[in-house]
Structure 1
Amino acid sequence: MTAASRGIRRHDALRALLSAFTAVLLCACMVSAGHAAPKPSAKKLRKELAQLQKQSETMIAEYHAGRVELQKVEKSEKVARGNLERAQRQFDSAAAEIRLLAAEQYRAGRMGMTAALLVNTDPGAMLNRLALTQQLIREQDAKLQGFAKIRDFHRAARTAADERAEQLRASLKKLDGQKKRAEKLIGQIKDRIDRLYPTPGLRRADGSWVPQLPSGPDNITPRMRLVRQLIAQRFGPRFGIGCYRADGGIAGGGEHPLGRACDFMLSTGGGMPSAAETNRGHQIAAWAIKNARRLGIMYIIFRQRIWHVRTGTWRMMSDRGGTTANHYDHPHISVY
């Protein structure tokens, strides 16, 4: 028997063994599927997701309206507090005038009575002076009562504003809790949708993935195509997603020419992204880290740092001299 024929026989035996092993796995999966509850379809999950997102948007709108109303109430409370302080100063001033006038009346009355005993002063003149003093006291008392009403009104207004502000803060706290719970549930449903898509390709025993060849008009691998699809569905391709390009430093280890890398842009023209877009970049990177082993993601570059699945940690990179070159305007994701 020649070496070639022996090799053919070994190949046929290996193929038969793999076929038998595959059959056993399929039977096991079918038995397991028969006992397990049926998984929800992507259509059903997307319907649940749309409903939850609608509820979340309603909560966000109510939360925003509550914040606006709270600002108005706090402004009214501030105005009422200022009016109360002015009314209190006016009240205190008027009260001081009344006390001074009463003291003067008391002294004048005592002196008038003493003078009347010593000198025969005209009683009519004394009554006129007393009547004038009493008139002044009545006018000051009316003024004082007016200030007291103003003070009490503003004090009541401030109390009402304080109570309304407290009610609004409690409502906002409740809404915020509901919104967070809805966002958590939305994230869970999105995770379930992601897991409905099996990762293309073969996985080695050590957990790494066998590299794939690019295909299709976009010149990327099926594995990279799935990662791009899931990120676009979940986070949106707002400023575009760049994957295959002929240059990219194959000699230096770049995966773009191999169809195994994509850039998820956060701005255009090399500009620094906004705070919201930078946060979206962090969310994309966090999602990629969370799903790295399942989807065959090899490493992520974002904001002059690189994360590799082998180490599971971020490390700084050397300065390449620009916003785009240092990956500040996009997360870069490479797959095996």
Structure 2
Amino acid sequence: MAVASPAGRRRGPLRPLVVTLVAGTAATLLAVSSATAGQAAPKPTVKQLKKELAALQKESDKLITDYYNGRINHQKAEKAEKSAREKLAAAQEVYDRESTQLRAMAVTQYMRGGQEGLTLLGNEHDPTALMSKLALSQYLVDQQDARLRGYAQVRDDHKQARDEAKTRADELAALVDDLGKRKEKAEKLIDQIKDKIDQLYQAPGVRRSDGTWVPQLPGGSDNITPRMRLVKMLVKERFAVPFGIGCYRTIQDGGEHPLGRACDFMLSRGGSLPSAAEVERGNEIAAWAIKNSKRLGIMYIIYRQRIWHARTGTWRTMSDRGGTTANHFDHPHISVY
């Protein structure tokens, strides 16, 4: 299940997230193992999971380094492409100006072409005047030749700048595509690490043969059960949940909140509809809870006017309760046994 997306952006840098999760695992592993004493060892064993996690961590370090190097190359390519575009703009300006002057010269030459010979013949008995006319004509020819040679250089410079700009643009596009693939590969591995870390946790308490769990008493300053506290911690670490998490409340509504066995993971504030990115975050939280329901003792999930129950393993639509929050459009709700 992919977690990082056009919302990656919302989960922070890759490496710090991995380090935080691994550190949290080391700190709580002993407590979790003690809580599950007397039960069958998880499959695979904690030792195997830790070994696999270490291997994944090593591989992720290589991928993150590769991704970082790709970002550096991308930044260099961006600068080169920008410089090429600026050179092309300058060359285009010169090219346009010289083209205009060249066209004006051609028009002038065309207009003068039929008169110049007659003018010179009219001075055939005045050698001084004739030499003066010939000298002026040669000067104009030399000026035109210089203009043509200069224009040819401008034309060549413009073509070179245009070709370079296209080359740099193509290089940048290729690097953007390559960087996207590197990022996607790294994110997939990060997800594997998160999944492996999840497997290191087992819900505390006693599980019955039918898959249900013996109830627990709430405790601590947050007034929730150890099972609910574990689920809350894992969701918070994996998905961030920037709009807050609400768990215990005193209102007796027939649900698990007053029993310390439920939490709401908010996707917006003030009863407003969440953004598309937050709706997707809610989908990811719900999918994660279903995937880990047996191991973590999750009883049911409510999200977007639907409920999933561990007994059936399927979603069903709920009746309209009359509001965004009441219908759980702005948060997934998770209850544990």
Using the size of structure 2 for normalisation, the TM-score is 0.68
Aligned CA distance change for structure 1 residues 325 and 37 (closer, same or farther; 3 Å): closer
Conservation of the 8 A alpha-carbon contact between 1:112 and 1:126? no
In the TM superposition, what are the counterparts of 1:80-95 in structure 2 within 5 Å? Answer: 80-95=87-102
- Distance across 2 between alignment mates of 1:275 and 1:70: 32
* Aligned residue-pair number: 296
Q: Which residue matches 2:212?
A: 209
1:152 partner amino acid? D
Residues 1:59 and 2:67 aligned together: yes
Report the alpha carbon displacement of residue 233 of structure 1 after superposing the two structures with TM: 2.8
Q: Which residue matches 2:118?
A: 111
- Distance across 2 between alignment mates of 1:228 and 1:47: 27
Conservation of the 8 A alpha-carbon contact between 2:94 and 2:154? yes
Report the alpha carbon displacement of residue 39 of structure 1 after superposing the two structures with TM: 0.8
Picking from 308, 312, 315, the partner of 2:314 is: 312
Q: Which SS does the other structure have where 1:334 is aligned?
A: strand
C-alpha distance after superposition, 1:92-138 (max 9, x if no partner): 3333344345545653454357x46xx85424323322321322232
Higher relative contact order (CA 8 A, sep 6+): 2
- Distance across 2 between alignment mates of 1:335 and 1:41: 26
Aligned CA distance change for structure 1 residues 325 and 185 (closer, same or farther; 3 Å): same
Aligned CA distance change for structure 1 residues 274 and 105 (closer, same or farther; 3 Å): same
Conservation of the 8 A alpha-carbon contact between 1:91 and 1:144? no
Conservation of the 8 A alpha-carbon contact between 1:263 and 1:331? yes
Listed as ranges, the gaps of 5+ residues in structure 1 are 1-24
Listed as ranges, the gaps of 5+ residues in structure 2 are 1-38
Q: Which SS does the other structure have where 2:114 is aligned?
A: helix
In the TM superposition, what are the counterparts of 1:131-170 in structure 2 within 5 Å? Answer: 131-170=135-174
Aligned CA distance change for structure 1 residues 55 and 100 (closer, same or farther; 3 Å): same
Q: Which SS does the other structure have where 1:298 is aligned?
A: strand
Larger radius of gyration: 1
Aligned CA distance change for structure 1 residues 73 and 259 (closer, same or farther; 3 Å): same
Q: Which SS does the other structure have where 2:301 is aligned?
A: strand
Q: Which residue matches 1:261?
A: 262
1:212 partner amino acid? P
In the TM superposition, what are the counterparts of 1:1-336 in structure 2 within 5 Å? Answer: 38-41=47-50, 45=53, 49=57, 52=60, 56=64, 59=67, 63=71, 72-103=79-110, 106-112=113-119, 115=121, 121-200=125-204, 201-205=206-210, 208-210=211-213, 212-217=215-220, 218-236=222-240, 238-250=242-254, 254-267=255-268, 277-309=278-310, 310=312, 312-313=314-315, 315=317, 318=320, 320-322=322-324, 324-336=325-337
Report the alpha carbon displacement of residue 174 of structure 1 after superposing the two structures with TM: 2.4
Report the alpha carbon displacement of residue 304 of structure 1 after superposing the two structures with TM: 4.6
Conservation of the 8 A alpha-carbon contact between 1:213 and 1:221? yes
C-alpha distance after superposition, 1:217-244 (max 9, x if no partner): 2443343233223212322364443222
C-alpha distance after superposition, 1:32-88 (max 9, x if no partner): 99xx9951438x83796498379638836953x666555555544444444444333
| Aligned-residue CA RMSD (Å) | 4.0
2:200 partner amino acid? L
- Distance across 2 between alignment mates of 1:72 and 1:162: 14
- Distance across 2 between alignment mates of 1:57 and 1:147: 49
2:215 partner amino acid? Q
Q: Which SS does the other structure have where 1:284 is aligned?
A: helix
- Distance across 2 between alignment mates of 1:142 and 1:122: 30
Percent of aligned positions that are identical: 43
Using the size of structure 1 for normalisation, the TM-score is 0.69
Q: Which SS does the other structure have where 2:302 is aligned?
A: strand
